[in-house]
Each structure stands twice: as C-alpha cells, then as structure tokens.
Amino acid sequence: MLMNLVLVGATGLVGRKMIQLLEERNFQIDNFYAVASERSVGKEVLFRGKPHKIISVEESLTKSPHIAIFSAGGSTSKQWAPKFAEINCFVIDNSSAWRMEAGVPLVVPEINGTAIGKTDYIIANPNCSTIQMVLALSPLHNKYKIKRVVVSTYQSVTGSGAKGINQLMAERNNESPQEKAYPHPIDMNIIPHAGDFVDDNYTTEEVKLVNETQKILDENIKVTATVVRVPVDGGHSEAVNLEFENDFTIFEVTRILGAMRGLVVFDIPEANMYPMPYLAKDKDEVFVGRIRRDMSQEKSLNLWIVSDNLRKGAATNAIQIAEYLVVNKFITK
C-alpha cells in the first residue's frame, strides 16, 4: 500500500519539527507533500535528504493523500480540514480549531487512541500543556479518581513560535525585537499571560487546560489553571496539585507513574535530580518529579511535570496518532 502524506504548515516551527520527527521515527511515506502559505509556494524543504517543492493546499488535495497533518493555525484548519475529510483523508490537526468539537476525538495515543473511529477523518491533537499533564494524570485517575486539579504552568517561548524565540534572543542581546510576541519584555522576566483574556479574566490557554483535560479524562474533574510564560526554550513545566477521592501512598503513586508508557519518573531530591526544561529538550518523554503529599489537604498530591512542548506537546503526539492509524489498519487505500 502506498502512503501519501501532506504536511500543512511545513515551514513553521512545529512543521519543521514534524519533518524531523517523521525522519527520526522512520514513518513509512511513499509520497511526501509539503504545504505552506502562498508566499512560500515554489520554495523547497528538505525531507530525508531530498528537496521537496512547497505546494498549495489546493494542489495537495489532488495528490490522493491518506494522512494530512495540519500545523498552520485554526482558521486554515477550519477551512481545509473538512475538504480533506470529504475525500476520506485522515486529518490530524494541531490547532485548537477542532479540539472541543462534538464527535471529534481529542487524542493522546497512550491514553485514548481507541477513541478514534474508522470514519473519524478529523482528529484533534491536544494543546501542548494539556498533553504532558494528562499523560501523568491518566493512570492516577484510573486508580484513585481525581476530584480536582490546580495547575500553574511555566511555558517556554517556543510555544509562541519563532516570534517568541526571536523576542527572547533579541532582548538577551540588548537588541530591539523586529516583531514582539509578548506585550512586555520576556528576558529576565515572567509573564502571567498566554493566549487572549476571556471571561472572568482567564486566558484562552488556561481555558484549554480545563476543557481538554475534562474531555480526555473525565468531565467531572474540576480544573483551575494559571498559565505563565518564562524565558526558556527547552519545554513547558507544570506545578500540579491533585485532590483524589481515594487515598494513596507515595510508593504506589511512583510505581504507577513509572509504569505509564511515555512517562519517566525523575525524582531523587537528595541528589538534586528533578525534571527541568533543559533536560527535557529534544526528548519525546514526559518527565515527572517532586512527587510529594500535600500536607495541607487530605488525599492530595503535588507533582512537577516537564516536557519538550515542540515534541511530545505537538509533533511527536501528532505522528504517534498517524502511527496508530497505520498500525490499526485505518488506512486501506
């Protein structure tokens, strides 16, 4: 069987990471089609050492694609994903456009790959900060039933794309950024603001953490979030407090987390060993440490969770979904 794969948004920060991951994971592709904005059409990207001309999204529809991975923003996904679905091409969308749409599976393969049906031609990739958190929460929820989650994130500038990195590096070099991702300096600063402010003074990034966690794990879990942007580029970090229905031991919690696929327990405090963004950078795993009981509240636990947001938080998770489709024979053309 031939595999025709379209990557929409191939020149962006996440798109380039997806090309890298497709190569690293040796994903079987017979025909690779790179799509980007109109101003990039005709330029080239390298894939497996060979140049591929960038084509328009309209042209890519004519290539009989089996899988289309979208990483080009919500408006592009809303406009074009249904057109690919109409020709029975599976769309894996990295934007927020389809995540909360009824009937569209929101998937972290280690947790809920089975949520994908044979005719679910649009599949949503969760938000980067959601992915790493629910990967740690899922096995604990299965065992102890999570009642409430309180999460504060420390999010890398890479979550804002090249613009965020460029602003940080320009400020670090005492230069004025050509284009700002943030309304304040990010170097030597932290900004309690990511996304847009919405109702009740929460941001869209905070609302995503609430809604997506409930959709993936359990609509009855109460979630509250504070999202913070920090001047690092290695990955996102999260301080997570969990309240359970059932009690636990730290030994058992550590064992359960250690057995979860895609999760690494890195927690030796006496040796100053705990997850940090620079250790997680360029890795696919989600790292968890600082595992300790919340002494102020019964049946409550504190965790520190770190992951490379461009990899597991975006590119790796999307490609794992594509791998799931292939392994489970969703694609038969």
Q: What residues are annotated to the active site?
A: 128, 236
Alpha-carbon torsion angle 110, 111, 117, 120, nearest 10 = -90
Tokens of residue 92, six digits: 């894996």
Whole-number Å distance between alpha carbons of 229 and 277 = 13
Residue 159 is given by DSSP the state G
Q: 90 - beta bridge partners?
A: 67
Helix (H, G, I), strand (E, B) or coil at 153: strand
Whole-number Å distance between alpha carbons of 333 and 326 = 11
Instruction: Answer yes or no: are the C-beta atoms of 60 and 6 closer than 8 Å.
Output: yes
* DSSP percent split of the chain into helix, strand, coil, nearest 5: 35, 25, 40
- If one counts every other C-beta atom within 10 angstroms of the C-beta of residue 144, the result is 20
Whole-number Å distance between alpha carbons of 278 and 266 = 14
Count H helices and E strands in the chain, helices first: 10, 13
